[in-house]
Structure 1
Amino acid sequence: MSLSAKINTAVRMNIAKRRLESRKIESGAGNPLEQWGLAKIRNDIKNSKELKELFGNQELDRELINEYKLFRFRELMGYVMENSPYYKELYEKTGINPSQITKYEDLKNLPLTEQKQLADHPYHFLCVSRREIVREFTSSGTTNMLKRMAYTQHELLEIVDSVISGLKMAGMDAKDDTLQIMYPTITATWDPGLVLSKACALSGYNSVINDSLDADEQIKTMRESGTTIIIGTSSFLYELSKAARELIQPGELGIKRIICSSEPLTPSMRKEIEEVWGCKTLRQWGMTELGLANAIECVEQNGFHLNNPDFLVEIIDPKTGKQLLPGEEGELVVTTLRRRCMPLIRYRTRDITTLIEEPCTCGACLDQRISDIKRMTS
């Protein structure tokens, strides 16, 4: 790389760092992911004349956050009606306009977005010019339907921002922490290892990527790099743990936390992993369509904490579409409030869960959580 290229890269990195709200969040100040979300909402209110008039200097509580999300929903609905060929045609047919969405119950009057619609016509959802797209990811998830999603530079930076705050919540709070990233079995057009390593670089944390399937190689990297946190797919970390049981003593390597992602984690798998490494194991949930990293457990292991400013979530009866109350099990439906490239409104995830509104024992009381994820079978 030439000197000028190095300088340009350094400048871009410094600009990106200044834009990251997660860098300002102290790990000891409550739940870092919740604090990050509240800071994002406060900044939105500060920079919007309409939001200032609505909320003024009121202290944020659950009711105000719900009103904020409805405001952003109406704003997004107006945006897609102007810029998304898919939603423009869809909402013209229904005759509904944003001003009619004044409470959560009104959302049921809008049609749901099906995964097949996104898979069949991805660019009908596009709201920006192709020149603004910097990355496109393709994923089939658990449905075997290939879905292509496009992201702008700003959106990728927001993903990195949420990843950093999630890592802080998981316990990555010291400059001498090192995240070891293990995704040897992931085959997709996006690389989670690169996203995670970029997040660590921007936040000042250390990271190392090891895609080896060999337990000895992974443990060798841990020793050499001073690994303190491990992240990877649930099945791989489970198999690695069974192999490592014969190679190390519990707690020997000083691992602080294990994060399992991309796949379900059963209680027996979690027990095995925690016994081998001598630390808590947290689950992470996300979908490529929603921005990859969407929710993560805290150390209380009592549900997934959602990226609060990013999403408006609903739970519906998958057969009737009826909205369900917190605590009732149904399908998770998500609206991506902050996306401008390919926003999704009332997107059916085909994941079954419940919405948890009660405060978490970790101290978070204003964000939302979802319970264990089950996959729809039909």
Structure 2
Amino acid sequence: MVANGYRVAFALTFVGLIPAFEIARQTDVSRPSGHVILRSMTRTTSLASTRSVATEGTKSTKSQSAGQSDASDDRNARFLAARALITKTGSAAFAVDRLESNKHYSTLSTRDRSFARLLVTTTERRLGQIDEVLRQCQKETKSRPNRVDQFVQAALRIGATQLLFLKVPEHAAVKETVELLRHDPKTTVPESRIKFVNAVLRRISREGDVLLATTDVTQNASPWLVKEWQKSWGEEATRKIVALAMEETPRVLTIKQHPGSQLEKPMGRIKAVAALFEDSEILPQGSVRVNTSPPGSIINWPEYSEGSWWLQDAAATTPAIALYNALSKNGETSVAGLDVVDMCASPGGKTAQLWNYGFASVTAVEVAEKRTERLRQNMQRLNMDCEVVVADGAQWTSQHESLQERGASGQMY
């Protein structure tokens, strides 16, 4: 973020580097420390066997509705999820990043995008147990799998995920997962391999609970990490720690305010939105945590279409809060005369926060055009008139001398 120059951009960069669990611990805005620490560690210390992502998931009720959706759309969601799980040689990208960077991902409906993302994140999070179940259902896999082997393995994994953890109905999980193997224009999967996948998934549909009972939740964590935790806290505590990391994190909402409006005070608006959800609580920094998600797609949640709120992790709100408090002297002075720039802005959570605070103007700069599309959609739903720029942040600021001039004139915080 930049407010009239560069120093704020650098300051907020360092604020953003503070581990999420540490921010949450200091501000007491999340669940007990063990849960928060693990959510951070899944990305920073490779908790899962492959690089796992603990993300905003959806409940099984939503996955079931997705599993029973229109076959072609749903097959596309499964296909994109399977493709994202195939690790490219030399790539350090997370599977979720590969999924969201696929040009076809944005063409899916909101429901099917959520389903595809749920498949990817659940598969990565539970990969150790999934692979152990699959190992019991097939012979030893090749040490150097070819393109077909990788595609088949990814299909087996997302099929097992649906049956073991998402409880998608058998006919949808098996049939649609098997069918996706016939619809890849770049890979021709032999019919014998397709029948093999069908047989394995049908066995899991019959014996899944028994097979899963032979696994252990610690198989989802890197062996070295499990060993260190067992050494420090013992086997039982380690199992509980990893089990917590497998849980879906609650959804956290940031509430849209109306800068300059005298209709209602901020806390009144926050309480009004919190009251729309049966199991929710207001966190110290003003977010609303929805502990039990309402059934169905998020687009059907109360006041989603009205743009009254957006999803944003509690720890993710901290940089914008720090910026506002610094510039407004903790709310004592107005920021209405200040322009602010949010770098690397997509998907727009912090951009929306800055708009909430009533800055004179908010400019969102994002280098990735695909991600910018999502940013624009979010700003449109929230009805926020922010300028969205597709550009490299470093190049963009160098082309705007006014930012440098303001910094040189002392308008810097």
Looking at both structures, which has the greater relative contact order when contacts are Cα pairs under 8 Å and sequence separation is at least 6? 2
Shorter chain as denominator, the TM-score bin is: under 0.3
Compare the two structures and name the one with the higher helix fraction. Answer: 2
TM-score relative to the length of structure 1: 0.27
Question: Normalising by structure 2, what TM-score?
Answer: 0.25
Whichever of the two has the greater Rg, that structure is 2
**Structure whose residues are more often strand by fraction:** 1
